[in-house]
Amino acid sequence: MRAILSVYDKTGIVDFARGLEALGFELFSTGGTEGLLRDAGINVRGVQELTGFPEMLGGRVKTLHPAVHGGILALRDDPGHLEELARHDLKPIDLIASNLYPFLSVARDSGARLPLALENIDIGGHTLLRAAAKNFPSVLPVCNPRDYERVLEELGRADGVGLDMRRRLAAKAFQHCAIYDTHVATYLRPHDEIFPNEYTVALSKIADMRSGENPHQLAAFYAEASPRPRPAGLATAIQLHGKAPSFNNTFDADLAWQAVSDFTSICVAIMKHGNLCGLSLGDSVADAFRKALATDPQTAFGSAVAANRVLDDEAAHEIAAVFFEDLVAPDYTREALQVLQRKADLRVFATHADQGTRGPDGAGPMPGEFDYKRLMGGFLVQTRDALPEQSFTPKVMTTRQPALAELTSLYFAWRAVKHVTSNGVVLARGLALVGFGSGQPSRQDAVDLACRKAGERAQGSVLASDGFFPFPDAVERAADAGVTAIIQPGGSSRDPELIRVANRHGIAMIFTGERHYRH
């Protein structure tokens, strides 16, 4: 039996080679792998002894030769293939161990240095794996060092490696190559080609989850791998405390993080079942938390909370006094972590994000970040709903101009309403939410719900709506609750009627000319 070992990641390769040697394999290798094995006292031969041809072009061409690929691709049950190998004095190759150049890390680090990135596109190893995977009933493709031990165990069995494992290794090899090709294509694709005709996403599994949204659903958590910058979030966060993540809470925790990442000032958000139920800016994390919790303390029970600043012990004590499932922040002081670790049911995540810089939903260092909606048999793909600092020119439509304090609250509410599901309405006083109405088919119902949530706090508040008002009754309801100013996209055929109602109640109303639906 013959094996070719040519790996970039040399983890475990020496022990694997020793195991193969003990099983009677004739070993061939290339470059650094060959040198490492020789130094370990393993009997290994250079691939050039197979090909009769030296490496060339600075190592770009090593294994791309019929003597290699003929030995891999020959069908063992085809007499014609075996006769052809014999005619050219070639022998079958039974195992390929290869993993690929670190294109992803090099492309991320090299930035715009195209020559370095191109030099790290693996051709030989990629081709070896695909050839072996194509002929998996006869050839073992091994691309992951974690499989070495299992492969050796299977090879040592009397009946050898079963077809099921061979097929699994082949699938893993093709997936390994597909992910690699996705990284290369993403790196090379021009930034102005936003939606190419063919498109793949490279994902790597973070963890299996206990269940999906419901106990009978299976689930796992994946992170997107890309040579382009990815935003900090739950997919890149480190869990510092708590039990294994769950599907629903991980989703809410990430949405909470997205909300606080939309603000440069100190911010705390509380999220439950995909909806914002608390949001505030503050002088400190503890201050912002108290105000965010006051939005709706009852709904906040068992929810996810996020802060966009390092959590100190004052904030930790405040948060620990309430039952939350998940907590996300850039980091934690040592004292804060000690307080939080006393809460057995609380998961604590650190994103290690730069504090006070907006993520993809804000002015954004990553304007090309995509949002995906799963359909039956397909996806809807869109750019994220980014809201830069000066994304619109406010147009006051009413007789009364908003006062400065109202205007500040209106801008805060307009950014906050992006994070509730449509039809979505929020009420704010100062820089904190006091009411929210989300996920309502009727915008009138969304306004009514927000006003009922706010109660007496609606008096003197401002209102933001993610879409225009189709009828003036919503403005009437807001006025009855004590709302003094409204910010909304405008664009309804009944806008003149709405403006008359607002003027009659002395409400200042701003049109933004843009909407912020979220589904």
pLDDT for 446-466, tens place per residue?
A: 999 999 999 999 999 999 999
464 closest CA partner among 518, 500, 503, 399: 518
With 0-12 CB in 10 A as exposed, 13-18 as middle and 19+ as buried, what is 432? buried
Does the annotation count 134 as an active-site position? yes
Each residue of 341-379: pLDDT tens digit? 999 999 999 999 876 565 555 444 444 578 888 899 999
pLDDT surpassing 80 at residue 60: no
| Alpha carbons 110 and 126: distance in angstroms, whole number | 22
Long-range Cβ contacts of 280-289 (<8 Å, 24+ apart): 280/431, 280/432, 280/433, 281/412, 281/431, 281/432, 282/431, 284/312, 284/314, 284/315, 285/309, 285/310, 285/311, 285/312, 285/314, 285/315, 285/329, 286/312, 286/314, 286/315, 286/318, 289/315, 289/318, 289/319
> 57-71, 72-86, 274-288: which range is least confident on average?
57-71
> What CA–CA distances, in Å, run from 181 to 9, 177, 441?
18, 6, 43
Predicted local confidence at residue 46, as pLDDT: 87
Predicted local confidence at residue 120, as pLDDT: 80
**123 or 291: which leads in pLDDT:** 291
**Residue whose structure tokens are 């382009």:** 228
Q: Say if residues 161 and 151 touch (Cβ distance below 8 Å).
A: yes
* Active-site hit among 134, 172, 241, 505: 134
Region 216-241: mean pLDDT is 88
| CB-facing half-sphere around the CA of 336: CA atoms within 13 A | 23
The encoded tokens of residue 331 equal 């980091």
Does the annotation count 505 as an active-site position? no
The encoded tokens of residue 476 equal 């009437």
Predicted local confidence at residue 111, as pLDDT: 62
Each residue of 167-226: pLDDT tens digit? 999 999 999 999 999 988 888 888 888 888 888 888 989 989 988 999 999 999 999 888
Within 8 A by CB and 6+ apart from 266, the residues are 281, 282, 283, 284, 285, 287, 288, 307, 308, 309
Predicted local confidence at residue 364, as pLDDT: 47
* Active-site hit among 10, 81, 241, 273: 273
Region 302-331: mean pLDDT is 95
What residue ranges define each of the domains in the chain, with the CATH number in brackets? Answer: 2-188 (3.40.50.1380), 234-350 (3.40.140.20), 392-511 (3.40.140.20)
Predicted local confidence at residue 365, as pLDDT: 42
| Alpha carbons 53 and 48: distance in angstroms, whole number | 5
| Amino acid, single-letter form, for residue 371 | D
Each residue of 74-123: pLDDT tens digit? 888 888 888 888 888 888 999 999 988 888 888 887 565 888 888 888 88
Report for 237-246, 285-294, 391-400: range of highest mean pLDDT:
285-294
Q: Is the peptide bond before 99 cis (omega within 30 degrees of 0)?
A: no
141-180 core/surface letters (b: 16 or more CB in 10 A; e: else): bbbbbebbeebbebbeeeeebeeebbeebbebbbebbebb
